[in-house]
Amino acid sequence: MPDILMHKTAVRGVPQVSVSQTSTLVTRTGSWKSIRPEYHDRMAPCNQGCPVGIDIEGYMNLLREGRVEEARDLLLAENPMPSVTGRVCHHPCENACNRRFLDGAVAIHAVERVLGDLADASPAAATGALPRVERVAVVGSGPAGLACAYHLARFGYRVTVFEAALQAGGMLRLGIPEYRLPRPVLDRAIARIVAQGQGVEIRCGARVGSDPTWSELTSTFNAVCVATGAHVSRALDVPGEALRGVQRGLDFLRDVNAGARPSLGRHVVVVGGGNTAMDCARAALRLGAAVTVAYRRTRDEMPAIAEEVEEALREGATLSFLANPVEIVGPAGSVSGVVCERMALGEPDASGRRRPVPTGERFTIAADTVLTAIGESAELDGLPADVTTSASGMRVEALGGTNRVALFAGGDVTDLERTVADALGAGKRAAIGIDRHLRAVANNENEATSADALRFGGGNVSAAQWTGRDPIRRVAPVNEVVGLDDLNLHHFARVPRQDDAHLSTGAAIAAFDEVNTGLTKDQAIAEANRCFNCGVCTQCDVCLIYCPDAAISHVADGEANYDVALDYCKGCGICVAECPRGALTMTRDRA
């Protein structure tokens, strides 16, 4: 105990207050504790949920501080085309965002779009990588192929991309309509990718397998990445599919996206419930048709992005649920209607969705044109003969490796998830796999690093962590994902999520202009201010302010931003309970 005595020098006029003469520092209250707080950053659920493997929390934090260019660069460290994903990604990050429990998820896609447009407007930033002599071929210039080329170029490699079509972009250009992804946006994104590192060469009109052949490719390049996509529309397999007026949805989209404006007749029936079906429906609406979407399950089971379904409905499409086409009918060789069987939802199937079961009831939907969009599969016949495939695509390891040395793959051609974001993530994994392989060959060593060491939680790998040039993290976050229970919502005021601006429905269906016009830069910064920064210390000082022992202080250059004076911390845990974002945890004191 300190010697608590009165001020002994008291004379008239000098105030006497009860203050100890000795410093209370002699009382090392920290010796009483058995647990203590520890700072370690944990994983934000958005980062874990992002198939691209973007440090979303990181760039939100930079943007919140007004460090716009650093935020952009952190985003570009992982995502080659944020202007594209900001428009077309199904944003699982937002479904994971903890803010959805308070007042709506952060509009991550819209922030990404603003930063992406900013990135496309400025020249490519240097990555600091030394040029490498090895050359890599990428087959296919869709999101997977471009992502692989982009990251390899940033790692220092010379990359050549072979594209069978006359323009680069793959499914982004062939499949996604302009009202979702204006072509100038895609062109600018590709131009920026081409300008990375020593440069990326894209050879259009070059179908690998014929010119050049696979063996020419593997002998000319040190490594090859296959990213040829999935371009084969699945057949309905019902009578009447050969009638005039029945078309594969992807073929229709390819024509429309190339500028064609085909005549569809009055009634169009789109079969399917995925994004291709929604793209077909909304494109047909813009061509003046009355559109009915026939889907054999209900809205809850639709694989399409929820916003796409909403937009299709708003623009006037009719959704006919529990409708399974069993026959396409028409006199004189032309389609006049689709006969559907009414379905009912039964037990869940392997995908977890309730399986549609037939009821026997039949009805007919009038149709002048039928567009089928029930899924795509990869063209596996043109691949090298000895690669391992499953029914749905090529088999790959965690970093894109195949059964053949120096042959990698990613994107829709593999048997993994088929979204733009997954393709970008797969392309990055393949790029890291190729870099790891080529460095191992060059240094004559084993391919040591595992993909798990680079992951964001259970999510994708980080290129910034792979290159060791992460611009903001001194220490990689612990792979524990922060949930709602780890946050202290009392420190956050309710601020509603900002919605993207949209064209009016009338203006939207009159042409193929972009419907979603996004957020402004200021709105994006305001959204970044809504980010909880789950699991990551933002130096908000709440712990320091709330510590009743004044045992927490700032540190300039440590692993953490604060130091806990363990001689005085009593282990009360107030800092941990008060931390708004779960960046502190209590641990057992070392005995």
Partner 1 sequence: MKKVMVGNHAVAWGAQRARVEVIAAYPITPQTQIVEKLSEMCADGTLPARYIKVESEHSAMAACIGASATGARTFTASSSHGLVYMHEMLHWAGGGRLPIVMADVNRALGPGWNIWTDQNDSLSQRDTGWVQLYCETNQEVLDTTIQAFRLAEMLDLPVMLMLDGFYLSHTAEAVDIPDQDVVDEFLPPRVSRHKLDVNDPHAFGALVRPDSYMEMRWLQQEAMRQVPRVLETIEADWNRLFGRSYGAVESYRAEDADLLLVTTGTVTSTARYVVDQRRAAGEKIGLVKIKMFRPFPTEQLRMALAGVDKVAVLDRNISPGHGGIFAEELRSALYDLPNEDRPQIYGFVLGLGGRDITPAVIDEVIERTKQGTESEREDLWVGVNS
Q: Which residues bind partner 1 (CB under 8 A)?
A: 2, 4-7, 10, 12-25, 550
What's the closest the beta carbon of residue 553 comes to partner 1, in angstroms? 9
Residue among 14 and 350 whose Cβ is closer to partner 1: 14
Burial class of residue 21 in the structure, from the number of CB atoms within 10 Å of its CB (0-12 exposed, 13-18 middle, 19+ buried): exposed
CA pair distance 543, 77, nearest whole angstrom: 31
Cα–Cα distance for residue pair 190/179, rounded to 1 Å: 18
Q: How far is the CB of 549 from partner 1 (least distance, A)?
A: 9
Q: Report how far Cα 35 is from the mean position of its chain's Cα atoms.
A: 38
Q: Measured from the CB atom, is 29 or 198 closer to partner 1?
A: 29
Give the nearest distance from C-beta 10 to partner 1 in angstroms.
Answer: 6
The C-alpha atoms of residue 343 and residue 356 are separated, in whole angstroms, by: 6
Q: Which of these, 212, 209, 168, 136, lies nearest to 430 by C-alpha position?
A: 136
The closest of 165, 304, 275, 183 to 228, measured between CA atoms, is 165
d(CA 431, CA 129): 14
Task: Between 17 and 448, name the residue whose CB sits nearer to partner 1.
Answer: 17
Q: With respect to partner 1, which residue has the nearer C-beta, 153 or 551?
A: 551
| Closer of 19 and 350 to partner 1 (Cβ) | 19
Please answer whether residues 287 and 264 qualify as being in contact, where contact means their C-beta atoms are separated by less than 8 angstroms.
yes
Least distance to partner 1, CB of residue 528, Å: 23
Which helix (H) or strand (E) element contains residue 219?
helix 214-220
- Cα–Cα distance for residue pair 85/110, rounded to 1 Å: 10
Give the Cα separation of 323 and 298 in Å (integer). 9
Strand 158-163, strand 135-139: pairing: parallel
Whether the CB-CB separation of 227 and 409 falls below 8 Å is answered with yes
Nearer to partner 1, 23 or 443 (CB): 23
The tokens for 261 are 């404006």
Query: In the complex, what is the shortest distance from the CB of residue 488 to partner 1, in angstroms, rounded to a whole number?
Result: 17
Closer to partner 1 by CB, 129 or 544: give it. Answer: 544
* Residue 17 Cβ vs partner 1, minimum distance, rounded to whole Å: 5
Residue 494 CB, nearest approach to partner 1 (Å)? 17
> Minimum Å distance from CB 67 to partner 1?
25
- 274 secondary structure, DSSP code: S
Give the nearer residue to partner 1 in terms of CB position, either 2 or 471: 2
CA atoms within 13 A on the CB side of 224: 25
Closer CB to partner 1, residue 57 or residue 549? 549
Query: What is the smallest separation between the CB atom of 579 and partner 1, expressed in angstroms?
Result: 20
User: What CA–CA distance (Å, rounded) separates 85 from 80?
Assistant: 9
Q: 41: which 2 tokens? A: 């950053």
- Quick one: tokens of 474? 């001194």
